[in-house]
Amino acid sequence: MGETESNILDRFTLKDIKELADQLGVAGLAGSIRRYTASTYQQFIDTLYSDLNSIVSTLQENPELRKDDGEDRLTLEILSILRGMGYAAGHETKIGGHTDLSVRGKNNYLWIGEAKIHGSYDYLFQGFQQLCTRYTTGDTNQDCGALIIYIKNKNCAAVVKEWRERITAQGLTNLSISDCEDRPDFVFHTTHTHERSGTPFNVKHIGISLYFNPQDKGKAPIT
């Protein structure tokens, strides 16, 4: 390490880190400061969801690589990136059962994600129920989770819209639904009374578009 490089690193500021994060494309670096300094559960969740947004973008960029992947394989990819960012993320961690994705933070913070490849809306509801009635406690610092929906069929927005209507019709206690500002056609939020805790439980429903059916290579037209 040359002396000049050493001097530069001695004066490494937050601005330098952010600029390098942009230039180098290191996963999660831009959000790392918020991750280190989050000091409430809501800040932990907000930062996690911001990082998950980035991960979803990464997954969606190459659907051709993932067209044969099952739920576990896709979830393991999310897990791997979260761990690289420094998250205490787990897969198949035993919390009431074997959770697809869990993230722990300080002060007993816990977030659980249940992942499903969309096949039917009953299957998605089964995942929602696993999340809300099997895995989560609904306790303080543990009242947020997500249903991660891998959508390999076309028209991802229609799937999410239909799912939103279906969940509304399930008769959940004190259900409220709100839009997601970042990805309004593919993500929404629900809050309902958690059966076990009796307190509000917040679920983010995240649609991930993995449809791949390129139509640029076909038979030559008949002339």
The residues that touch another protein, with contacts defined as CB under 8 A, are 1, 5-7, 9-15, 17-18, 20-21, 24, 26, 28-29, 32-39, 43, 80, 83-89, 104-106
Tokens found for residue 143: 């009242």
* Nearest residue (CB) to another protein, 33 versus 177: 33
* Nearest residue (CB) to another protein, 11 versus 219: 11
- In the bound complex, what is the minimum distance in angstroms from residue 46's beta carbon to another protein? 8
* Nearest residue (CB) to another protein, 26 versus 157: 26
Strands (E), 107-157: 110-117, 144-151
- In the bound complex, what is the minimum distance in angstroms from residue 108's beta carbon to another protein? 12
R_g of the chain, CA atoms, integer Å: 20
- In the bound complex, what is the minimum distance in angstroms from residue 103's beta carbon to another protein? 8
Q: Which helix (H) or strand (E) holds 179?
A: strand 176-179
- In the bound complex, what is the minimum distance in angstroms from residue 147's beta carbon to another protein? 23
* Nearest residue (CB) to another protein, 12 versus 123: 12
Whole-angstrom Cα distance, residue 51 to residue 47?
6
**β pairing state of 187-193 and 98-99:** unpaired
Whole-angstrom Cα distance, residue 111 to residue 156?
25
- In the bound complex, what is the minimum distance in angstroms from residue 80's beta carbon to another protein? 7
* Nearest residue (CB) to another protein, 79 versus 124: 79
Q: Which residues of 52-62 are buried (b: 16+ CB within 10 A; e: fewer)?
A: bbebbeebbee
The amino acid at 122: D
Q: Which helix (H) or strand (E) holds 58?
A: helix 41-61
**β pairing state of 144-151 and 200-209:** parallel
* Nearest residue (CB) to another protein, 51 versus 128: 51
- In the bound complex, what is the minimum distance in angstroms from residue 8's beta carbon to another protein? 8
Whole-angstrom Cα distance, residue 98 to residue 116?
14
